[in-house]
Amino acid sequence: MKKVILKCKLASREKFEDKLSDIDLDFSAIYWQHDRVYVPRGYKNGMNLPRLIMRTEMRSVDKPPKYTLILRRHIEDSGLDIVEETSIKEYESAVNIILQLGFKLAGEVSRRRQDLKMGEGTYIYLDKIDGRPGNYAKIESNLTADDSATEARGDLKKTFETLGETNFIDKPYVEI
């Protein structure tokens, strides 16, 4: 799936949530996510190589965690992300396969997250990253074959600006 993703560090989480609430958009309950990010050996930013992410997600303490393997490839010159996700039942086995394929652990990120569906294929996430000050917002928009990544990115930027946010971040959370 092709996506355009834009993140920003929020000036005020409360004001951001209030602006969305004023237009009848409310976030989900808070849930926990933990990502382990794996990169190919010799990985360098700008090489357009894939990253593999093993995600653990807990939406409720009375339900088992959900495990997902995410392949993400960021195409630097277009701002486009190619993302494929698959559910995993055997977490340890999947990690062993990733390591045997020559990937190495690049870092880990835990966060408290809330989400909001904002139209067809567009999601806003509010994130509080463990061990880092401040709050972050991320907008992801799924693209069709006819969509322009540049135009979609511009639309996401305008959305943030309309909500009073301009502190954009181009790095993945694991690199912040």
How confident is the model at residue 48, as a pLDDT?
Answer: 81
- If phi > 0 it is left, if psi is from -120 to 50 it is alpha, else beta; for residue 98 that is alpha
The answer to whether the beta carbons of residues 105 and 36 sit under 8 Å apart is: yes
Predicted confidence at residue 118, as pLDDT, reads 86
Q: Hey, where are the domains in the chain?
A: 2-175
Which of 70, 8, 76 is closest to 34 using CA atoms? 70
> Each residue of 6-32: pLDDT tens digit?
999 999 999 999 999 998 999 999 999
pLDDT (0 to 100) of residue 130: 96
CATH homologous superfamily of domain 2-175? Hypothetical Protein Pfu-838710-001 (2.40.320.10)
Rg (CA), the chain: 16
Check residue 119 and give its pLDDT: 82
Instruction: Note the pLDDT of residue 92.
Output: 95
Q: What is the pLDDT of residue 74?
A: 85
Q: What is the mean pLDDT of residues 90-108?
A: 96
pLDDT tens digit sequence for 66-88: 999 999 998 877 778 999 999 99
